[in-house]
Each structure stands twice: as C-alpha cells, then as structure tokens.
Structure 1
Amino acid sequence: MTTHHPRPTVVLVYQRISLPWVFESAERAGIDLVLIPRPDEAVSEDRLPPAVVDVLRLDIEADRAAALNVLRRRYEQNTFQGIVTLYDPAVPFVAEAAELLGLPGIGRDVALGAQDKRVMRARLAAAGLNVPGFVRLDDPADWEKAASLAFPVVVKPAHGFSSLGVTKAESPHSLKSVVDQVWQTCASKLGQVDGLVVEEYLDGPEFAVESLAHGGDVRMLTIGYKGDPQGPHFEEGVYRAPAALSETVQDDICREVKAAHRALGITDGPTHTELRLRGGVTPYLLEIGARIGGSGVSQYIASGVTGIDFAAQALRIAAGIATEPLGSGTLPAPVAAAANYIVPCNGSGRIIAIHGLDELRADPRVDHVVQMLFPGDIVRPYPDFTGYPAFVLSRHANIAEAEEFHQFLDQAIRIDYGHEEQA
C-alpha cells in the first residue's frame, strides 16, 4: 500500500498570469499555487495556468489587516506551506503573513530593508559597502538637505518600483523643482508618499544580478548587462546575460552582492540586485530586491543562461522543502545567452499603432512577446510611469548575437502616437 503525499502549496501574491515563467516552474517542481491576483486584473478561472489550484481575491493595499485575517483563516481551513511574491511593493506584506503563520520567510524587518530605499542605503553604508552620498527626505520642503551632495543627483521614491518617478537633477538650482515633481508623481500614482531618497548619480554601466539564498548561503546565478542610462529619467531598455565582464570585475560584484545580503539579513529566497560599475570598474548597489525580478523575467534570464530552474528553487525554499545544495560561490558556467528587450515608449500620448511585434512572434530566436500596452492606451510623459509597451524575450548562442539582435529590434519596432490633445 502506498502512502499519498499531498503536493506542497504556495500562495503567490499579485502575479500576472500573462507572465508565465513562475507558473511553469511551479508545475515542474510539483508545487500547487494559490493565486492572489492583482485587483486591477480580471482573471478568468477557466484559463488559469495548470499549477494554480485556487484563486483568492484580496486587496492587500486597501485593507492589509483584513487580507491577513483572510489568509489566516484560509491557512487554518486548508493549510499551505509558503507564501511568495514577485511584486516588489508586496514584499513586506508577504513577510508579515509568513511571520504570522509561522511559514518560511525573511521577516518584516529584513523586508523593510529590502523594500525601503532609505533603510537599505543606511544599512549598506553601516556595513561599509560602496554607497553613494545620499540624503533621505521625509517632506518635499526639506529639499535643501540634499543641496550639499555632489551633483548631479538622482531623486527617487523610498518605496518606488521600476522607474516610477526616478529623476536626475543636474544642479542644486533644479533640485527643488525635481523633488516637487517626483513627490507629486508618486502621490498620484502610489496614493501616498512615504518619503524620497536623493543620492549622488553614479556614472557607469548598469548590471543586474540574480541570486538565490538558502540557510545563509548565497549562490550567484547570473550577471546581466542593463545598459548605461544617463537620465534625466531612467526608462529600462535591455537586459542581456551573461554580461561581458572580466573575471576580476565579476569577483568584485559577487563579493559586494554577498556582503549586501549579509548587511540586509537576507538568508533565504531569491534576490534581484541592480548595480552600477562606477567608472566602469567599481560596483555600487542601486538596490536589492528580495524577490524574483521583473515579474518573472529574471527566471527566464537565469534559467536560459545557466540551465538552473531559478523559480523552482525559490518556490521550494518558500515551501520549506528545499534540499538541493546551492553549490559553490562561483558563477555557473553559461550554457547560452538570454535577453529581454524592453520596448521603449519613445514618446507619449494615445497609442495609435505598435509596429513590428507580430513579425517577432514568428522569429525562431524569440520565445515570448509579452505585450502590456495596446493601441488606444495612453502613455503619460515621464516622470510619470505608464508601464512598458512590451517585452521581447529571446535566446542566443552567445552574448554577441543577443546584442546584434537588440540592435535589429531598435529599428524593427516603432510606436505611433496621436497628438497630445487626443490623450
């Protein structure tokens, strides 16, 4: 007689089903998912990914306490083994829920340091990591506190995500207007503003690091190139891995990222770190998120480069069933290159047409075209952040081919806008 062992279940908070990678990883890992969809997303229960066994509709932002109570009752009636999110603003809620229910998690204090840029900067600086000069602003009227920094500076919301509101101020003369503008943008988009960070601008190319921590061990999976955005706004454009870096620079990045995990207390789960190489050589962290990055894009990149199922490993850690050792601290040898081309808005107004995406869906190099904006949608000018029109995810034999493909996409994709008054 065989004993039936139920599949482990993990609650997945605010993940869009149009971004499939974490759902596919859950299926491969034999993990069932209870999906908490975003309130603004209509989810048809007859078209759910196979790994999703239940849908729980909660608004964690409108009524946090009520959402926690519903989760507690759900846990008592039909237990689950873990709770995760890939949506950065939900990281503190997930940590609190895991703590409340006694599930694996990073804890509320660690989540605060990984999500509040003011706390993150202070903790990284206290640990002696490379940190640009910075000032926290709890009120826009305090803008003069940042006037003594070395300019240019970057103003960003303490609890922002993607490139929402992030704006470069070239001189002290423009600082007040930039601070006011970012504050207003965040108030309108986020509903409230908890504060800003003003930090010295870091010259040098940008990179992203995908890592996995378990029991305090940190395994670096990939380092990817993310362009060299100059501002004044920082719209993301490319993500190509593995980055073409010397072994010395890779080692320096790995040391800095692992030290950041220790400084912030992140001992378990996936992380997505963004950094700049100041002067092209010295790593300075921009931020570290205690989640899989890009709503799952990091899973696509890391698995494409290494052959390791990043999200499956992360889900096993969340469910408390991870048994595979993370391996040595060195970067795995790449097996291929993977890339994400983030279609730039290149303008604002009402979208009339997006050219080039349909042809790419048939391109053998392309695995996914994930479209988020469509004709009729309105794109607001920066520093407001409407979202990205589309992701084009592709695999290549090497990084040179990925770079050549992105140069082709620069010409192949075009967005037509109507006049501003139409918006």
Structure 2
Amino acid sequence: MVISVSGRIQVRARTDDALLLTSSWRVGKLNITANLWQSIELVLQLESFIDTTTFNNGFESARVFCLDANDEVKEAKFSDKTAQFFWQCLRATAVTGPGVDCVVRLVVPLQSGYIVRSDIIPLRLQDLECVKTVTSFADPLQTFAGEGVTCSDCSNLEPLFSAAAAGLILNVSSTDTELESSTIDLELENRLSLPWILPGPVQHKTLVLVDANSADPAKGGNGSGLYLAAQALGIKLVVLDNANHWLEEPQYAHWREAFIPTRLTNPPEGDLTEILLKSIKAYGKPIDGIITFADSYWTYIADAAKQLGIPTAPKEALRTATNKYLTSKYVGHEAYRASCLDEALDIASKNDLPYPLIVKPCDGWSSEGVSRVDSFDQLTTAIKAIDESRHGSEFVMEKYCAGPEVDANFVLLDGEVLFFEVCDDLPKSADTNGPSLGSLNNFHELNSVYPSALPTEEIDLLRNSFLDTLLKMGLKDGIMHLEGRVDRSSVDYEMENGILDLHPRKSAGSEPASAWLIEINPRPLGMTGSQIVESTYGVDYWGLALLIAVQDRSRVRALSHPFKNGPQYHCIMVFIPADYPSSCEGLYDSEDLCADLMSRRKDLASHISRSGCFVKRGQKVPHPSTGVHSFLAYFNVFSRKSRHEALQLAKEVRDEVRYSFK
C-alpha cells in the first residue's frame, strides 16, 4: 500500500542545543506479507548539515526532534538499538548530501510471540545486494504483540521504530527506484519465509559445553560464531575446559553463564565421564543439555548425559560414528586396523590389499595424517606421517575411492530430515586429478563448492544411503556432517580452460553408481564451512546444534527452513594452506593476507562474502610434512551468475594471495 505521510527532523547538540542537521522524511509504502510481517518504507532526505564535529560524536551527544505539519516540535525517544540505527540513517543522509534519498525499511512482526533468535533478520539478509545495512532491534527471546502499524501511526516516527524488529538501509540509485523497491519486497518474502515469531511461553535454557574451542578470536580464531549464536538464541552456556583458557578472560565473560575449569586431554583420559560430572555438580544449578564439538569426547558425553537423565544419542552409535575403522566396518568396507608400522606391514603382506589405499588415524580430524598409498613401498612413509600425540596410535587401511568427493550435511530431528545439502570438495593434491600446490601432496582441504553440481539422482543416492546408515546406527537427532564419495559416478573432474570442475565421463561404466561413506561427524562442519551454508542457504548449523542439545524442537524446525527460492548464489570456500620450503624456520613474515588481497583487488573483494587470516607476523606455523594441517586463511568467494564464474573467481583469489615465510 502506497501512502503519503511526511514530516521534518531537527538534530540538536545535547550540550548547547546547537542545530546540527535538518532532514525531511516521508513514509512511502506500508506492505503486509502473508499476514506474517509488515514492511514500512521510510525515506529521509537531507535539508541542511551544519556541524560535522558534534554530529560525528554519536547519537549520545545529540537530541532528535520531530516537526509535524504545523511545525510543532516534539523530542523523539528511541531505545538504544533503534537510536543507534536512526543515527546511522541520519549519517547516511549526511554522506549522500542534499537531494539524495536515504531509503529505509522497517520490519514489523504481525504475529504475537517471541522471536526465534534476536539476529534472525540480519542472518537471513546476508549478502543481499540491495541492502547496505541491517540492524536488529530485538533482544534474545523478546516477545512482540503482533500489532501492525496503521496509517495514523505513520505521522510519528516513534511508533514505527518501537514496533519494528529490525531496520534496513537500502542501496538505492536514482535510475529506477520503483524496481529497487519491488526487489526488496521479493527478497524479504524469499528470505523471511520461515516462522520467525513463535507462540509462547518463552523457555530459557542452560547448556553445558565441553571443550570451549581452542582458537582465541583475538588471535585469529573463528570460534566466536558459536557464542554469538548462543547469545542470539538466549541459551546460557556453562563451559567446561582447562584452566587458563582464553574464555576465562574478562572480555569474554558475557559469552558464558559460567566457566568451570575441567581437565581435558585429547586423546581423552579414561575417567573423563567422572571428571565431567564433578564439574557439572560444581556448577550447582539445573541444566537442560550437554554438548561437545570435539568428536573424541562424544562417548563420554553420552555416559554423563545418561547419569544426568538428559537425552542423547546411544553411546555405541557415537563410538562407531567417531571411530573411522568402526564406521568403515559398519558400512561394509574391507578395512584393516593397526597400531604400529610392523603390524601394518604384516597385514599388508598377508592380505591382498586393493591399492591404492587410504591410510588414516581412527580418531583423526581435519584430514590430518591421511595419505593415499599406491604401493607396499609407500606404507612406511604414510604411517610415519600420523602424529600419535594428536590422534592416537590406531589407524585404518582401506580402499581408496576415486569418485567425486562431497560433504553431506543433515539436520535431523526425531529421525526426520529437516534440511539437507551437499557440497563438492574439489580434488586435493593427493588425488590423481588434484592440483599441484608446491610441496603439498596430501588431503588438505582446498576448495569446497556450494551447492553441488552432481546429477540429481546421485545427490538422492547420497541422501538415501547416508540417512539409512545414520538411522540404523541410532543417530536420529543432531547436525550430522558426513564426508563421502560417489563410486562409479557418471561425472568426473576435468580441467577445461584452466578451470577444474565436474564433467560427464567420456566412457561411462556399466555398473551403477554407489555412495561411499568416508566418515561421520555428529556435529556441524567447521565454523568457516558453516558460515558458507549460513549465507548461501540461510541456515545456521551451530545455532541448530545448540537448540537440538536443549530439546527446543519448535525453534529447530523453524530455523531449518532455507531460503524459499533456494541458494542465493554459488559459493566456494577457498582454503589457503601453509606451504613453504622446509629450509625455512616456518615463521610467517607477512601481514593479514586477506586484507592485503582485498585492498589490492577491490574487484575480487566485491565477490568475497567472508574471509579470515589465522596467523600473525612472526607466528610459527608447522610444516605440512609434520602431518599438522595449518591453514593460513580462507575466503568465501561467490558468484550470483554461475558456478563457472565462481570457480574462475576462486582461482583468481588463490593466484592473487601474497605471503612469505622466513
């Protein structure tokens, strides 16, 4: 509905009442979408901008007055969050100058209840081209009356902002404002097509987290997403980890309800269950769930949960899922387990092993210690590459499947698939058709492409086969991150014009394709991988994992809805692994390589959703030959046009990275 209500604004200094800025405003549209929310279009235009110094001090230093049609003046009162946003709007008018519109959208819920997570609107509007800024006004678990704004309310700014859950500042041009306005309407319908307001009553939850994440955000770690999700969901975290962890520091106190110093080792000690129970008892208050994101702790979590009367997956299911030998045997692979080199050589001598083989630790992660072995002579090198101090002594030897590799991720609740997606893991340097990257010859992640380009029938094959395995194993709830391949796939990777991608096989075999399971992780994929799913589909795995752990089924179902129109773009996670001559000391000798690239190549920067550099100048980085996989950085590179363009951009980003070691 197009309406025409307008007014004027004065901004005055709080100290001496000096006039800083005058602006006009008008309400242009008042739209209702499916009786779920209201979108209010507010247009501001600068009239005069007088005092830049005081204005730049921030909204705390000023007062805002609204003038009605009769020039009657009334001071506008906003909450802290809406005041911050309104100040951004005024600053935007000051930047664009007189005569240029600052177009704002306010989103008002039309259903009564509580918000599923306080940042749901910014989360769902990530990388939306027509939006410059998104700000949530909501607090965690805030309730809304569901009463919309009427035309009569539009004569005053205060009721518009107080009713809204979020505000958007749009990217607009002077060419076709009507088209831009229609575009944001369609995108809001696409992205907010989930029940983001739920009926009460609100239930506050407390969750025990075992292993806080070892990467300090102040030192390049990316674990903050977990804690920010918990905050937005209104979940209180009781964290159990070793004393002197970075999360104990005062600046992170708001991220957790409590921190209980707890002895954790990896591999874990046999009495870990008793250690966990003792720490939970020390907390002394009721809890609603217990969770970890460290695979080796899951069986102990199951034991502790059983004694606490908290639902969790069966211990045996978790033990099988988190041990790569047991997983392989469970799905029928011909796999062999050994604990030392002599035992492995004996097995290889007595059995007709199907070379090429994969050798990998039973309790490994991040593809560390994983090697492709093409002959008996290569076994010794592969086994010596496993770091027993990190992954234990047991390792598995099994057939190498040469089919296209994928990550397959499930959101499961009561055995039902609420969300499922597959991404393509492009060949690593150890694959026969993988790239050659300096001295790297392993299974270090390089490029993960979302969504997958596998044929639909092969994606369905993966879904059905992997889901059947999970359910038979007893894993019916949780975020399940599986890695696998398609054996005898109808497609394979080929290089075409310098771009490696899937193409139909030139000579298709007679045997049908089958799903080859590599491993099961009863947790979300890494934080960077989850970020790319979040921006591509609108689904946050880490937040869902927390909700599943506290049995908040309503919000799990609500937040498992992807965008109505599917993935918003093709996106590639470009990993930059550490690689340097073994003669170097391994000291990183550059600044932030992500910031460097984006400052040099602004054309590429416009296609990068997120990025992060994990190292700082002077930091010691393990050499790849040690078996430790060290990432220097990552880039999430996207294209709204095509997968091919995304791959081209990803290649260019990798080629443009600059760093050095000494």
Q: Which residue of 1 aligns with 2:403?
A: 204
Over 3 Å counting, the alpha-carbon distance change for 1:361 and 1:222 in structure 2 is: farther
Q: Which residue of 2 aligns with 1:319?
A: 550
Residue pairs, 1:290-301, within 5 angstroms: 290-294=522-526, 296-301=527-532
Q: CA separation in 1, counterparts of 2:572 and 2:624? A: 27
Matching residue within 449, 465, 479 for 1:270:
479
Matching residue within 365, 372, 381 for 2:624:
381
Q: CA separation in 1, counterparts of 2:625 and 2:418? A: 36
Q: Which residue of 1 aligns with 2:520?
A: 288
1:151 offset after TM fit, Å? 0.6
Q: Which residue of 2 aligns with 1:260?
A: 469
Over 3 Å counting, the alpha-carbon distance change for 1:177 and 1:66 in structure 2 is: same
SS in 2 for 1:55: strand
Q: Which residue of 2 aligns with 1:213?
A: 412
Q: CA separation in 2, counterparts of 1:124 and 1:405? A: 38
Q: CA separation in 2, counterparts of 1:202 and 1:385? A: 23
Looking at both structures, which has the greater relative contact order when contacts are Cα pairs under 8 Å and sequence separation is at least 6?
Answer: 1
Confirm or deny that 1:353 pairs with 2:589.
yes
Q: CA separation in 2, counterparts of 1:330 and 1:279? A: 33
Over 3 Å counting, the alpha-carbon distance change for 1:30 and 1:340 in structure 2 is: same
Over 3 Å counting, the alpha-carbon distance change for 1:48 and 1:404 in structure 2 is: farther
SS in 1 for 2:262: coil
Q: Which residue of 1 aligns with 2:304?
A: 97
SS in 2 for 1:323: helix
Q: Which residue of 1 aligns with 2:635?
A: 392
SS in 1 for 2:553: coil
Q: CA separation in 2, counterparts of 1:118 and 1:341? A: 29
Q: Is the 8 A contact 1:205 1:277 kept in 2?
A: yes
SS in 2 for 1:197: strand
1:394 offset after TM fit, Å? 4.5
Q: Deviation per CA, 1:397-423, whole angstroms, max 9, x where unpaired? A: 2544432331122112133222xxxxx
Q: Deviation per CA, 1:88-134, whole angstroms, max 9, x where unpaired? A: 23333333332232223213211111111111111112xxxxx4x32
Q: CA separation in 2, counterparts of 1:118 and 1:150? A: 16
For normalisation by structure 1, the TM-score amounts to 0.85
Confirm or deny that 1:68 pairs with 2:250.
no
1:40 offset after TM fit, Å? 8.1
1:288 offset after TM fit, Å? 1.1
Confirm or deny that 1:145 pairs with 2:347.
yes
Q: Which residue of 1 aligns with 2:569?
A: 336
Confirm or deny that 1:45 pairs with 2:249.
yes
Tell me which amino acid in the other structure corresponds to 2:337: R
Q: CA separation in 2, counterparts of 1:379 and 1:247? A: 40
Structure of greater Rg: 2
Matching residue within 368, 378, 387 for 1:164:
368
Matching residue within 235, 240, 258 for 1:36:
240
SS in 2 for 1:255: helix
Q: Which residue of 1 aligns with 2:59?
A: none
Q: Which residue of 1 aligns with 2:336?
A: 135
Over 3 Å counting, the alpha-carbon distance change for 1:71 and 1:366 in structure 2 is: farther
SS in 1 for 2:258: strand
Over 3 Å counting, the alpha-carbon distance change for 1:146 and 1:39 in structure 2 is: farther
Q: CA separation in 1, counterparts of 2:612 and 2:296? A: 22
Over 3 Å counting, the alpha-carbon distance change for 1:366 and 1:57 in structure 2 is: farther
Q: Deviation per CA, 1:327-382, whole angstroms, max 9, x where unpaired? A: 9x999832334432211222354134246322356634434333333333132232
Q: CA separation in 1, counterparts of 2:657 and 2:274? A: 44
SS in 1 for 2:531: helix
Tell me which amino acid in the other structure corresponds to 1:189: R
Q: Is the 8 A contact 2:243 2:261 kept in 1?
A: yes
Confirm or deny that 1:245 pairs with 2:447.
no
Tell me which amino acid in the other structure corresponds to 2:610: H
1:391 offset after TM fit, Å? 2.5
- Greater shift, 251-260 or 135-144, is seen at 135-144
1:50 offset after TM fit, Å? 4.6
Q: Is the 8 A contact 2:240 2:279 kept in 1?
A: no
Q: Is the 8 A contact 1:352 1:417 kept in 2?
A: yes
1:59 offset after TM fit, Å? 2.4
Q: Deviation per CA, 1:274-301, whole angstroms, max 9, x where unpaired? A: 112234343311111000111x234313
Q: Is the 8 A contact 2:577 2:629 kept in 1?
A: no
Over 3 Å counting, the alpha-carbon distance change for 1:34 and 1:337 in structure 2 is: farther
Over 3 Å counting, the alpha-carbon distance change for 1:27 and 1:379 in structure 2 is: same
Tell me which amino acid in the other structure corresponds to 1:140: L
SS in 1 for 2:625: coil
Confirm or deny that 1:370 pairs with 2:644.
no
Q: Give the aligned length.
A: 403
1:140 offset after TM fit, Å? 2.9
Q: Is the 8 A contact 2:579 2:623 kept in 1?
A: no
Tell me which amino acid in the other structure corresponds to 2:359: V
Q: CA separation in 2, counterparts of 1:68 and 1:330? A: 34
Confirm or deny that 1:416 pairs with 2:656.
no
Q: Is the 8 A contact 1:354 1:374 kept in 2?
A: yes
1:383 offset after TM fit, Å? 4.9
Confirm or deny that 1:173 pairs with 2:415.
no
Gaps of 5+ in 1: 126-130, 419-423
Over 3 Å counting, the alpha-carbon distance change for 1:90 and 1:403 in structure 2 is: farther
Q: Is the 8 A contact 2:248 2:259 kept in 1?
A: no
Over 3 Å counting, the alpha-carbon distance change for 1:253 and 1:276 in structure 2 is: same
Tell me which amino acid in the other structure corresponds to 1:409: V
Over 3 Å counting, the alpha-carbon distance change for 1:262 and 1:233 in structure 2 is: same
Matching residue within 442, 451, 469 for 1:233:
442
Over 3 Å counting, the alpha-carbon distance change for 1:99 and 1:403 in structure 2 is: farther
Q: Which residue of 2 aligns with 1:421?
A: none
1:142 offset after TM fit, Å? 1.9
SS in 2 for 1:284: strand
Which stretches of structure 1, 4 residues or more, deviate above 4 A after TM superposition?
2-6, 37-41, 324-327, 329-332
Q: Is the 8 A contact 1:346 1:415 kept in 2?
A: no
Over 3 Å counting, the alpha-carbon distance change for 1:320 and 1:235 in structure 2 is: same
For normalisation by structure 2, the TM-score amounts to 0.56
Tell me which amino acid in the other structure corresponds to 1:336: Y
1:258 offset after TM fit, Å? 0.7
Q: CA separation in 2, counterparts of 1:52 and 1:299? A: 21
Tell me which amino acid in the other structure corresponds to 2:390: K
Gaps of 5+ in 2: 1-142, 144-199, 431-440, 491-512, 600-604
Confirm or deny that 1:402 pairs with 2:639.
no
Tell me which amino acid in the other structure corresponds to 2:207: V
Q: Is the 8 A contact 2:416 2:476 kept in 1?
A: yes
